Structure 1
Amino acid sequence: MVLAETSKNNSLIPRKGLSPLFFSSSKALPSSSPSSPPSSPTVSSPSHTFSEFMMEENIENAESIITKWDVNPSSWTQVTCLFHQDRKEAREYLKCVRDLRRSMHFLVSQKSASDKLVLAQKLMQMAMKRLEKEFYQILSSNRKQLDPESVSSLSSDGSGSFDDEHELVSEDEAELKKAGESITEVERVSALVMSDLKAIAQCMTSSGYAKECVKIYKLFRKSIVDRGLYLFGIERFKSSQINKMHWEALEHTIKNWLNAVKIAVRTLFTGEKILCDHVFAASETIREACFAEITMEGAINLFRFPELIANSKKEPERIFWLLELHEAISELWPEIETIFNSALTSAIKLQALSSLHKAGDSVSAILSNFRSSIQKDSSKTLVAGGGIHPLTRSAMSYISSLADYGRVLSDIVADHPPPGNSPSSESCFENPTSIDGPTSAGSVHLAWLILVLLCKLDRKAELYKDVSLRYLFLANNLQFIIDQVHTTNLKYLLGDEWVSMHTKKIKQYALRYESMAWNKVFSSVPEGTSSVLSPEAVKDCFRRFNAAFDEAYMKQTLWIVPDGKLRDELKVSIARKLVPAYREFYETQLVALSGEKNLEVLVRIAPDDLGNYLSDLFHGTPFSSKSLSSSSHSQGCLPRLHILNS
């Protein structure tokens, strides 16, 4: 029905409403006039006689030029393109077809039994065959000029130089003027070719031959679109093929699609839309139906790919490709809506929208699985020395990578907020939504994932029997998390307030570690001993100090603090509390032991050497018995920490 539509502007009478002599598509013509009796004769006015004469003259003029270019008798006309051979004569040809059609209308209404009507019908059929041939030749011989890139650079304005109610514009420059003054040679030729196609299509459509014209156009241009998608590497996949594909092959296929979809939308489909709208400017219905049939199959297959990926395995690493696919369609969505804006192409938009939603659902499902995998991690292996837990490394690597997709992640998780019953404990932090700056859904979601990890680490810390080591473990892992935030896009998503809040938490952990790990050593040194104690009391103090320091030292040389800054801060804090108090005790009470035999065994550590011992800590290396047995005057002592001299 669409293909038989006629131009409203030209008041064309449908084929079925006329005599078979007028619009019959059969090559055989009736040998006599219709059997129905002619209408009663009327007395013709002079103006009517003149009009009849003019219509018959139009037919005679049309016969001259149409028979000249008849595709049947002359081999020369079969191989020669009228629009390429003589553009002026091509315009005359279209004008004579228009005049012929007007004459036929007149004769049907005023003199339906005229022999001239039979001749006019034969001429019209000859003209339509010629125009069919011209239409195909222009399409096939101007592939380069009609490629989507060339066409998409021209105006999509549907108006043209061919007007069925007025004289043809003899200057084709009218099309060029619309295309712009600074067009290239390729664009100039493209504009002329498009003008020719439009003129032929409008002539055939207004003459009742839209079906024949559209059939040629659809077959030819659909092959162009399908080949373009094929050259882009777009294949037809099934879900089973995607699931069986090796990761490297799938990764290559997804990368190729991401590149292809942008070109397909912005060049291939856009160019095809412009061309179709221009060629069939006279009929909105025809151009919408034509464009839909040309692009439907290829476009649906193109936009179906993300949905196939989304429906495949929910492996954690696939989330990044799903985010890329979602982002690609989101960015192109305004253009997709503009290009496929008719009811006939709504299936294409629905497919693109379905892929968008499926990709988002799949991302949300993978995020949920990731969160659950952290919560359900049941490994009880202790990290030596309270270092960085493997779960911390893997989870933060994943979360940091997610931060690179902050905008698209926000779009997706806005409809999938984290659960309100996320695990919490006293060691977990404040609500992650309390971050500075404009808070996005993606920022909140990533903060919740880090919160889940911190809560799990809090439980992992309980596996250490030494309470002070628990706090050192928590400080180490939180420091690692903050370092990851600082060096990735997480910094911009979570903000400075989040970093500051968690940095304070590290200091709390450090103070708790220090209090529990060194309190016995600190308490072994008497405070405020201005008067000299008895020799026995001094000996007892040195023994208690030696025992406490030996115990702390032997354990903590095996402990580790990977972050250099945190390691130095811990050592400085310990030294500031220990060295001054020990020095005061040492310098005021050592006099009580003057004359004591084996003094170097009792007083093994001089105040200046404490820094040497503290420098051994937090490297995860076994302690050296030689270090503790050496005297304060041993040449084997390590250089003092410069931080202790302050």
Structure 2
Amino acid sequence: MPRKGMRSLFFTTKASPSSSISHYPSPRLSFSESVMDRTLAVADSMIMKWNPDTSTYAKVTSLFYENRREAAEFIKCVNNLQKSMHLLVMEDASSEKLVRGQNLMEIAMKRLQKEFYQILSMNRAHLDPESVSARSSLASTRSSVSDYEDDDVPEDEIRIAANSIEEVEHESTVAMTDLRSIAECMISSGYGKECVKIYKIIRKSIVDEGIYRLGVEKLSSSKIHKMDWEMLEMKINNWLNAVKIAVKTLFNGEKILCDHVFASSESIRESCFTEITREGGQILFGFPENVVKSTKKPPEKMFRTLDMYTAIAEHWPEIESIFSFESTSAVRSQAITSLTKLSESVRTMLAEFESTIQKDASKSPVAGAGIHPLTVYVMDYVSLLADYSHVMGDILADYPPPLKSSLPESYFDTSVSDDSPVPAISHRFAWLILVLLCKLDGKAKHYKDVSLSYLFLANNHQHIVTKVRTSNLKYILGDDWLSKHDLKVKQFSDKYERLGWDHVIKSVPEDPTAAMSPEEVKKCFLRFNEAFEQAYRKQSVCVVPDSKLRDEIKVSIAGKLVGAYRELYNTHRIALGGERNLAVLVRFAPEDVGNYLSDLFFGNVGLGGSLSITTSSSSHSRPSRSR
């Protein structure tokens, strides 16, 4: 019938004054009968051809695989049958034609149900979440091929790769299109429940299998508690690798597929996706909560805890988007609960770490006034923590400030003031380093020689500053913190220099060129010999690991000593020219002093520190130390 005639079923025209509707039979009634007859004739031929109960061919052959054009005609035929039945039922609900139509509809639905199952089952590879999620972004798919263009890959290999991607994309698109057409036909015909049941069973098995293959399993807190750390760490590593794939591929691909297939019904989309993914999502995002509930919290475990927190936090926008339905709120809640528990665990371990620093009871001075093992441990730990600054800021945002009563009042400054307008993360990191500095100050007092105490503090402060400057701590603590602690290093090294070398420097007269009697010259050189040998003997075992600080200290000492001694030597040595024991009186040439100073701070511990001096009247070759 022409489209114009069909429209006459739904739109009335104004009757002329002379017309009388009672003179004519109802056009709607005759049209319904006529349409139903023709629809039944077409439907009977098409539907019965693919009735698996009456045709061996239909039983072993897939309609959509065999002839997609005919499959489209089949769907169209079923839709027309449904419309015709709907039209007729409003006129004559007891019509035999409706009974015949209903019988055909049940046969058609059975066929489509079989097709729906076959497409889902036979196209698992093309409907896997990775293929579906890749298909959703054509640009992303194309870029995976264009990546080859930057490499020296032959054009035929690039073409093969492109064709392979296009083939997978095509197969995925075809399968998704067929599923959607079947789903819409069955839902509109009142058979959505049968369609949805098949979809849920098959797709849930795929999601559950995906979670299992990713190495994530449902583990109780008690079972985790019984694991040793090596086994648990392996489980955590599996989980960390799984989260990204599960969120970006598994759940995301499943959401895309579900949204596409059941585009005609929002309630069915929600029901299907929830049924398919809720259990897997809760298992995945519940794992971190079970881990932190069932394990002890030593500081060494903090980094794995932060890794788990980061994995959820970084993917939270996607988690929230994918599980946006009200019925999937349990998955979102589980992810949030795990974040909360992980955050609490990090705070607990941070407090334990601070306590570990404060409880360190080692009293033995570090040989050579070098860097204390506690300094190395704490700064390595804190600098690694700084790599997690993007999540540590959130974790520490509402963390209560530390109690000042735990440290002496003299250690407080603006960098850890409760009133300072710095982020909580900066405040907490500055505090941890302050706790370390306080501890180091106590350890410095174990040196009997005060000069070594200050060298010890200079070395350890320099190590701290270097660690801060070469890690993310630089951005957390800021330039002001660095400037202030650079100054501390300078103050400590100056005090070391003054206490360790001032008596040597002062053994040379303020004016080395001033006139002196031979006896005064003799005493002056003897005084310098004694002071320099004593200082060298003490300081030769010292170590300054930082090359920049080492050079700065040596240059500073040499600048105050070598030039003045050279003037004394050049001016007054000739006055002792007649002395028999000149080599004893003038034991060091200026070059000798410079050479000995240049050998300092490499930590020659246990070498004795004694000097073997050649006669100063020689060519002043570099002196050698006796071993």
Q: Report TM bin, short chain.
A: 0.7 to 0.9
**What amino acid maps onto 2:611 in structure 1?**
S
Aligned to 1:62: 43
| 1:457 corresponding residue in structure 2 | 440
**Correspondence for 1:350:** 333
How many residue pairs were aligned? 573
> For 2:578 and 2:171, how far apart are their aligned partners in 1?
113
Q: What is the CA-CA distance between 1:318 and the residue it aligns to?
A: 2.4
How far apart, CA to CA, are the structure 1 residues paired with 2:565 and 2:115?
Answer: 105
* CA distance, structure 2, for counterparts of residue 216 and residue 332 of structure 1: 31
Contact 1:604 1:628 in 2 (8 A): no
CA distance in structure 1 between the aligned counterparts of 2:79 and 2:573, rounded to whole angstroms: 124
Q: 1:239 aligns with which of 217, 221, 237?
A: 221
2:219 partner SS = coil
Give the Å deviation of 1:470: 0.8
Q: Which of 101, 123, 128 is 2:82 aligned to?
A: 101
Distance 1:112 1:448 in 2: 83
- Residue from 241, 258, 262 that aligns with 1:276: 258
Q: Which residue of 1 aligns with 2:116?
A: 135
2:202 pairs with one of 220, 227, 231: 220
**Farther-moved stretch of structure 1 (48-57 vs 356-365):** 48-57
Aligned equivalent of 1:515: 498
Amino acid at match of 1:627: L
- What is aligned with 2:101? 120
C-alpha spacing 1:129/1:526, structure 2 compared with 1 (3 Å): same
By how many angstroms is 1:561 displaced? 1.8
Cα deviation, residue 445, structure 1: 3.5
* CA contact 2:525–2:586 (8 Å) conserved in 1: yes
Change (3 A) 1:576 1:187: closer
5 Å-filtered alignment, 1:41-440, equals 45-54=25-34, 56-57=36-37, 58-155=39-136, 184-311=166-293, 312-416=295-399, 418-419=401-402, 421=404, 428=411, 430-432=413-415
DSSP-derived class of the 2:414 partner: coil
Amino acid across the alignment from 2:397: A
Structure 2: runs of 5 or more not aligned: 1-21, 138-163
Letter in 2 for 1:264: A
- Offset of 1:498 from its aligned partner? 3.4
Residue 549 of structure 1 deviates from its aligned partner by 3.1
Q: 1:626 to 1:380 in 2, by over 3 A?
A: closer
* Structure with more of its chain in helix, by fraction: 2
> Which segment drifts farther, 285-294 or 365-374?
365-374
How many Å separate the matches in 2 of 1:516 and 1:282?
Answer: 86
61-70 or 465-474, which deviates more:
61-70
Alpha-carbon distance in structure 1 between the residues aligned to 2:443 and 2:523: 39
1:418–1:448 Cα contact (<8 Å) kept = no
Name 1:627's counterpart in structure 2. 611
- Structure 2 letter corresponding to 1:552: A
Query: Structure 1, residues 23-62: CA drift from partner, whole Å, max 9, x if none?
Result: xxxxxxxxxxxxxxxxxxx999432540452354134543
For residues 482 and 422 of structure 1, the distance between their equivalents in structure 2, rounded to whole angstroms, comes to 25
Q: Which residue among 466, 470, 474 is the counterpart of 2:453? A: 470
Match of 1:610 in 2: 593
Secondary structure of the residue aligned to 1:269 is helix
Aligned to 1:557: 540
Q: In the aligned structure 2, how far is the partner of 1:203 from the partner of 1:133?
A: 14
Counterpart of 2:263, as a letter, is A
Distance 1:441 1:407, change over 3 A: farther
Q: Which has the higher mean CA deviation after the structures are superposed, 459-468 or 315-324?
A: 315-324
User: Are the counterparts in 2 of residues 553 and 623 from structure 1 also a CA contact under 8 Å?
Assistant: no
- Contact 2:196 2:272 (8 Å CA) reproduced: yes
Aligned equivalent of 2:16: none
Q: Quote the residue 2:3 is aligned against.
A: none
> Does the residue aligned with 2:387 lie in a helix, a strand or coil?
helix
1:336-358 Cα deviation digits (max 9, x unpaired): 11111110111111111222222
Separation (CA, whole Å) in 2 of partners of 1:592 and 1:191: 104
Q: What's the TM-score, normalizing by structure 2?
A: 0.82
In structure 2, what is the Cα distance between the partners aligned to 1:236 and 1:228? 13
Q: Single out whichever of 284-293 and 145-154 deviates more from structure 2.
A: 145-154
Contact 2:613 2:623 in 1 (8 A): no
Task: Give SS of 1:627's match.
Answer: coil
Q: Which amino acid aligns with 1:46?
A: S
Q: Which amino acid is the alignment partner of residue 109 of structure 2?
A: M
Unaligned runs of at least 5 residues, structure 1: 1-41, 157-181, 641-646
| Distance change in 2, residues 1:602/1:150 (3 Å) | closer
> 3-state DSSP class of the match of 2:511?
coil
One-letter code aligned to 1:287: R
Aligned equivalents of 1:212 and 1:139: distance in 2?
14
Question: Which deviates more from structure 2 when the two are superposed, residues 42-51 or residues 139-148?
Answer: 42-51
Higher relative contact order (CA 8 A, sep 6+): 1
Match 1:575 to one of 537, 558, 575:
558
Return the offset for 1:293.
0.2
Query: What is the distance in 2 between the residues matched to 1:354 and 1:94?
Result: 47
Work out whether residues 288 and 342 of structure 1, in 8 Å CA contact, stay in contact via their aligned partners in 2.
Answer: yes
Using the TM superposition, name which of 208-217 and 183-192 deviates more. Answer: 183-192
TM-fit CA distance, 1:639? 4.8
Contact map agreement 1:94 1:203 (CA 8 A) in 2: yes
One-letter amino acid matched to 2:79: R
Q: Distance in 1 between matches of 2:566 and 2:87?
A: 124
Report % sequence identity.
56
Counterpart residue number, 1:174 = none
The Cα of 1:331 is off from its aligned counterpart by 2.0
Measured in 1, the distance between the counterparts of 2:166 and 2:531 equals 88
Distance in 1 between the 2:608 and 2:212 partners?
A: 70
| Change in CA separation of 1:617 and 1:150 when aligned onto 2, cut-off 3 Å | closer
What secondary structure, in the 3-state scheme, does the structure 2 residue paired with 1:525 have?
coil
